[in-house]
Structure 1
Amino acid sequence: MARLAFRAAAAVVGVALLAAYLTAALLVADALGAVWAARPDLPVLIALLAAFAVGSAYLSYRVGTAQILANLEGDRVPREGAPDLHRRIDSLAARTGVERPALYVTDARAPNAFAVGGRADGGALVIDRSLFRLLSPREIEAIFAHELAHLEGNDGFAIAMADGVGRSVVGVATVAALPALLALSGLAAASAWIRGRPGDRSGPFARLHRALSGGLFAGFVLATLVARSRSRRREFAADDRAAEVTGDPMALARALRRIERATEPTWPFAPFSTQKRTEDPAERWLSTHPSTDERVERLRRLAESQGPTRRIPPGPSRATAGRGRSLR
């Protein structure tokens, strides 16, 4: 008797869930239908969607850049505060053909340097104070040349735009698929309750919902992978440009290796640290930067093609990420 009562109550819950989800799906579908009915001609619609995607990506880039500079735990360095350092940056900026960027020195948790902004607005160079103790003047200069190369190529802007546009396209697809997702969710939940198995999601409707959700997630991952792949290519291009500007590829290679060793965790539980190395292909694909080994090897070959070079010791690989166009 108790089981029969449970099945009857479960069936009522299932029907109520189905009604609620289908109602929500119909409301969303009607709203989308109204928007679609009021759409302009197809070329105009495509132009509007493209403008929305580009505009939202640009706004995200500008807001993100402003937030990075506002949240820096450091100070802007005036010319009179470090005249020699500013002269070095002036010389490198003249050689790369970019506007003189602002210079910030920060106190971060790990030695690093990155560029913020782009060629049009001059941008900013941010360097952690510890690098002045860790690196030689030639290596510091190589770091600045690498970051100025990012500003020269507007890399931060281009990558942010590619990432933002990709996410906007996936977002539009998700909104269009929302009625189907709601309907399938309701059908899956209702059928499970009606069968007396509220937690069961093995039915055909649940499988269809997972397939549709998985396809949308795959689109999001694909957009991310495309942006990250471009980011890694731009890191190699910035390395090459820095080597061309300074005429010393090995200075940048030594700087990369020193930074890698300085940021490598040495405490006993290092395998659980966020700074740990990884050989996972998925993590490497999602990284914004190539491994240090790849970058050092390319710089070594470039130096050898130019003549005799100083040898730097081999070291472990490392892939790092950052919001700005970072050195690591």
Structure 2
Amino acid sequence: MSRLAFRAAAALVGVALLAAYLTAALFVADALRFLWAVRPDLPVLLALLAAVAVGSASLSYRIGTAQVLASLEGDRVPRERAPDLHRRVDALAARMEVDRPTLYVTDARTPNAFAVGGSGRSGGGKAGGMVVDRSLFRLLTARELEAIVAHELAHLEGNDGFAVAMADGVGRTVVGIATVIALPALLALSGLATASAWIRGRPGDRSGPFARLHRALSEALFAGFVLATLLTRSRSRRQEFAADDRAAEVTGDPIALARALRRIERATDPTWPFAPRSTHGRTEDPAERWLSTHPSTDERVERLRRRAESQGPTRRIPAGPSGRTTGRGRSPR
């Protein structure tokens, strides 16, 4: 095929692609105009959108929670198997605004504990569950395990999982609506960029002005998604600090929680150069810190150390993986 024939064929393909993209863009735009024309009053519309966002996020959270609890059903811990743990949970739950959760014990790859569900007292909902990895019974002392339990009960007390799910669901809904509104422009710009490349005889070229505009709009929408994620993760980190404070308040022993956090950090840090990065590992990458659901152990231990010092003489906080201690005080008695 001669160069002239190739250019003519490429131009025809470009025109056909442009027609297809613009037809799709016009179809979507017409659908959006129809929906806008039959919309209710703006306050009603905003209320409906908010209800859809909250309702979908709530349904997703409740289904996910039910699935997690169902998968853990075989790991329930009866009272006769762990009477001391049950007694501590009973005592802590009685002091906090939370129904007693169902206890589960699992064998995970790393020492961990987490809460599932809510307090059970908001709207008459069902009490949640608390999952404890079996290794924590060997790793932590009784006071340290009690502090971890209090921390997880604080998450249930504040319905933290539900709050984060709501924030995440609403943020994703807003970005999704913005994407739908921008869809006609995205289709049109994509068609113009593709058709322009074919007409110029460079089908793979995406350096033209239409391609740049398409990338800019796509990146703006992606930035909105990232911003919503960052806001949700920031809220999650604040909840961790709040749960630390509540656990220290209920147990009266901030250092027990600090020691537990240090022990868990040491147990989950890689012990050989090619080990995968631990979820508790330290990082200097700002992006990783911003996207983390938990603040660093150093930050949490330092806050607990200051709280203990404000309460009076404190015990010594164990050194981190680097061997550096994070606070001064008396040795454990």
TM range (shorter): over 0.9
d(CA) in 2 for partners of 1:261, 1:79? 30
The CA deviation at 1:74 is: 5.6
For residues 244 and 71 of structure 1, the distance between their equivalents in structure 2, rounded to whole angstroms, comes to: 33
1:235 and 1:78 mapped to 2: Cα distance?
28
Q: State whether structure 2 residue 58 is matched by structure 1 residue 52.
A: no
Which position in structure 2 is the counterpart of 1:29? 29
Sequence identity percentage: 84
Partner residue in 1 for 2:287 = 282
> Which residue of the other structure, out of 199, 213, 219, is the alignment partner of 1:214?
219
Deviation at 1:67, TM superposition (A): 2.4
Distance in 2 separating the partners of 1:74 and 1:143:
23
Deviation at 1:166, TM superposition (A): 0.7
- 2:259 pairs with 254, 258, 279, which one? 254
Deviation at 1:10, TM superposition (A): 1.2
Q: TM-score, normalised by structure 2?
A: 0.91
**What's the TM-score, normalizing by structure 1?**
0.93
Distance 1:195 1:172 in 2: 35
* Structure 2 counterpart of 1:110: 110
Q: Structure 1 residue 311: deviation in Å?
A: 1.0
Relative contact order higher in (CA < 8 Å, ≥ 6 apart): 1
Q: Give the aligned partner of residue 189 of structure 2.
A: 184
Alpha-carbon shift at residue 307 of structure 1 (Å)? 1.3
1:85-119 superposed Cα distances (whole Å, 9 cap, x missing partner): 11110000011121111101011111100001111
Of 159, 166, 178, the residue aligned with 2:164 is 159
Offset, 1:73: 8.8
Do the aligned residues in 2 keep the contact of 1:74 with 1:107 (CA within 8 Å)?
no
Q: Secondary structure at the match of 1:18?
A: helix
Q: Partners of 1:164 and 1:114 in 2: how far apart?
A: 21
Structure 2: gaps (5+ residues): 121-125, 323-333
Alignment of 1:1-328 (within 5 A): 2-72=2-72, 75-120=75-120, 121-270=126-275, 273=277, 275=279, 277-316=282-321
Q: Secondary structure at the match of 1:51?
A: helix
Aligned-partner SS, 1:81: coil
Deviates more, 1:35-44 or 1:227-236: 35-44
Q: Aligned with 2:75: secondary structure?
A: strand
Which amino acid letter does the alignment assign opposite residue 105 of structure 2? V
- Distance, in Å, in 2 between the alignment partners of 1:310 and 1:43 is 57
In the aligned structure 1, how far is the partner of 2:225 from the partner of 2:155? 26
Quick check: 1:192–1:201 contact (8 Å CA) kept in 2?
A: yes
How many aligned positions are there? 316
CA distance in 1, matches of 2:148, 2:277: 26
Structure 1 alignment gaps of length 5 or more: 318-328
Return the alpha-carbon distance in structure 1 between the equivalents of residues 128 and 63 of structure 2: 14
3-state DSSP of counterpart to 1:80: coil
For 1:197, give the aligned amino acid.
R
**How many angstroms does 1:165 deviate by?**
0.5
RMSD: 1.5
